[in-house]
Amino acid sequence: MKKKKKMRYKDLITIGPPRLTQYERARIIGIRALQIDYGAEPFIKVEDGYVSSIQIAEKELEAGVLPLSIKRRLIYRDDFDPIPLKWLIVASQEDKIVDLD
């Protein structure tokens, strides 16, 4: 009997590293913090411990609730593949999880 091959999010990401780069992370947090400053509702429940919009934006990013995609483009290709933010977050955590099967 054949074993089913598990599809990993890491395999779906074809352009760039299978994680958020530090520049993408900083840009997402900065833009989301600005939106929160201008009155956008947070996607997570805000507790008393979070006082700044940057802390709220970081928690939203870690929770994977932001409905965003990253567009990465290769120099030799004119098109780009939008990568859902959720894929990048899960793919970066896949290396930390060890399968003992």
Residue 63 contacts by C-beta under 8 Å, 6 or more apart in sequence? 43, 44
Sequence ranges of the domains in the chain: 20-94
Check if CATH label 3.90.940.10 holds for domain 20-94. yes
Q: Are 16 and 91 in contact (CB under 8 A)?
A: no
For 51-98, write each residue's pLDDT tens digit. Answer: 799 999 999 999 989 999 988 887 787 777 788 898 888 888 876 654
Question: Is the confidence at residue 100, as pLDDT, over 50?
Answer: no
